[in-house]
Amino acid sequence: RCHTMEERANLMNMMKLSIKILIQSALSLGRTLDSDFPPLQQFFVVLEHCLKHGLKVKKTFIGQNKSFFGPLELVEKLCPEASDIATSVKNLPELKTAVGRGRAWLYLALMQKKLADYLKVLLDHKHLLSEFYEPDALMMEEEGAVIVGLLVGLNVIDANLCLKGEDLDSQVGVIDFSLYLKESQDSDGKQDGGITAVLDQKHYVEELNRHLRWDFHLCTVADLQNKIDCLEKTNSKLQEELAAATDRIGSLQEEQQQLKQQNELIRERSEKSVEVTKEDTKVELDTYKQSRQGLDEMYSDVWKQLKEEKKIRLELEKELELQIGMKTEMEIAMKLLEKDTHEKQDTLVALRQQLEEVKAINLQMFHKSQNAECSLQQKTEAISSFEGKTNEMISSMKQMEERLQQAEKARQAAEERCNKMKQELAGRLDACRQQMAQLDSK
């Protein structure tokens, strides 16, 4: 376990150094990087070692397979943006092995400036990475997250990596430590550093040749024949493209000559038009100067008129406000008059109804008066007859009064007689009573 921890720490430190030197050298170079740039090559070598750390060995019918392209294929499923990289890698005919496809995938991701994003997506799904890596692998531990964070700094680099013609299947990933040891040396030992760098490069070339020889022995004749066929096809395609390009160049040259002739004609016409416009501008300038004086005078007159019109406008606005006020008052008065007229119309209608009723009553009264006159005539006739009767009755009443007076006198005389008779009777009664009493006493 301590051994794997040291491996992870060493790989992480190497990745830090490679990224640092790559960024510094790219910024100092100041141009787009290509695949022949040594710091870029060493960066991919170190990254390949980091991705290979802790890979599980998969057994197949052919033999054991240990490739870092398997985890990279998961990115297409997790991130749809990476589908373009996967399709372009699969469509490259010169890639025969999974190692070559994995290297091409890293090249394309770096050119897209999405390498850190794609690897972060993988680290976020460690349950899927566990199928390809051991539990103590670099991609399964914290060092993987640190490396992904360092890769974000590579987004400042512009790279143009051509995959055609690159032998990505048979490249040997050997780390060249001379690039990283140069910076730790002092300025006094520049010559020694150069010698050591040459020696390191010599050793690197020898090691590279040794691996190439070994890979050459492993290659079969069929693979070489396939490569030759592919190269012939690409060569024929390039020849066709070259012929088309030459034809295109010829047509473009003819178009260029025609454009030159047209340009000369346009230039001559433009010079003539410039001269004409100069003369026109001179004439226009003179007319402008002459018209400017008149315009100034007109401007002063117009300014005076404008002031007067402003005053008139203010007065008109005031009058308009007064008219608006009068109009509103008139509208209010009209509304009141309309109300009065409506009320008067209602009263007129009511008065007409009353008048008709009065007329009907007058007719009734007229008929009644006629009837009353008739009855009056009858009554006057009756009264005249009654007057005659009353006169007769008055005369008879007078006679009756005279008779009554006579009867009253007779009554008084009769009463006197009666009283006398009562007195006489009373005297007689008293005498009778005395006689009766005397008789009783006897």
In this prediction, residue 185 has a pLDDT band, given cuts at 50, 70 and 90, of very low
Within-domain flag for 184: no
pLDDT at res. 390? 79
**What are the DSSP calls for 186-231, one per residue?**
-GGGHHHHHHHHHHHHHHHHHHHHHHHHHHHHH--HHHHHHHHHHH
pLDDT at res. 190? 45
Q: Which long-range contacts (CB under 8 A, 24 or more apart) does 413-417 make?
A: none
Query: In the chain, how many domains are there?
Result: 1
Task: For residue 103, give the DSSP letter.
Answer: H
In this prediction, residue 179 has a pLDDT band, given cuts at 50, 70 and 90, of low
CA distances from 362 to 105, 224, 263, 371 (A): 124, 143, 117, 14
Residue range 61-84, pLDDT digits in tens: 444 556 788 898 889 888 888 888
The whole-number average pLDDT for the span 360-373 is 87
In which residue are the tokens 């005076």 written?
304
**How far, in Å, CA of 292 to CA of 213, rounded?**
93
pLDDT at res. 215? 52
Give the distance from CA 215 to its chain's centroid.
64
Residue range 126-162, pLDDT digits in tens: 888 888 999 889 989 898 899 999 998 888 888 888 7
The residues with which 64 forms a beta bridge, in sequence order, are 59
The whole-number average pLDDT for the span 323-327 is 88
> For residue 120, what is the domain's CATH number?
1.20.58.900
Amino acid at 352: R
pLDDT at res. 105? 92
Q: Is the pLDDT of residue 249 over 60?
A: yes
Q: Is the pLDDT of residue 189 over 50?
A: no
Residue range 262-279, pLDDT digits in tens: 888 888 888 888 888 888
Within-domain flag for 55: yes
pLDDT at res. 180? 62
Domain that holds residue 105: 2-175
Under 8 Å between Cβ of 145 and 123: yes
The pair of structure tokens assigned to 224 is 């070489």
Distance, first Cα to last Cα, the chain: 197
Q: Is the pLDDT of residue 58 over 70?
A: no
**How far, in Å, CA of 419 to CA of 407, rounded?**
18
Amino acid at 104: A
Within-domain flag for 144: yes
Residue range 401-432, pLDDT digits in tens: 888 888 888 888 888 888 888 888 888 888 88
Within-domain flag for 10: yes
pLDDT at res. 325? 87
pLDDT at res. 194? 46
Within-domain flag for 14: yes
Percent of residues, the chain, with pLDDT higher than 70: 85
Within-domain flag for 192: no
The whole-number average pLDDT for the span 24-43 is 85
Within-domain flag for 399: no
Which residues have CB under 8 Å from 236's CB, separation 6+?
Answer: none
Task: For residue 155, give the DSSP letter.
Answer: G
In this prediction, residue 120 has a pLDDT band, given cuts at 50, 70 and 90, of very high
Mean pLDDT of the chain: 81
**How far, in Å, CA of 113 to CA of 192, rounded?**
38
Within-domain flag for 228: no
pLDDT at res. 200? 53
**What are the DSSP calls for 245-302, one per residue?**
HHHHHHHHHHHHHHHHHHHHHHHHHHHHHHHHHHHHHHHHHHHHHHHHHHHHHHHHHH
In this prediction, residue 302 has a pLDDT band, given cuts at 50, 70 and 90, of confident
The whole-number average pLDDT for the span 1-29 is 87
In this prediction, residue 210 has a pLDDT band, given cuts at 50, 70 and 90, of low
Three-class DSSP category at 133: strand
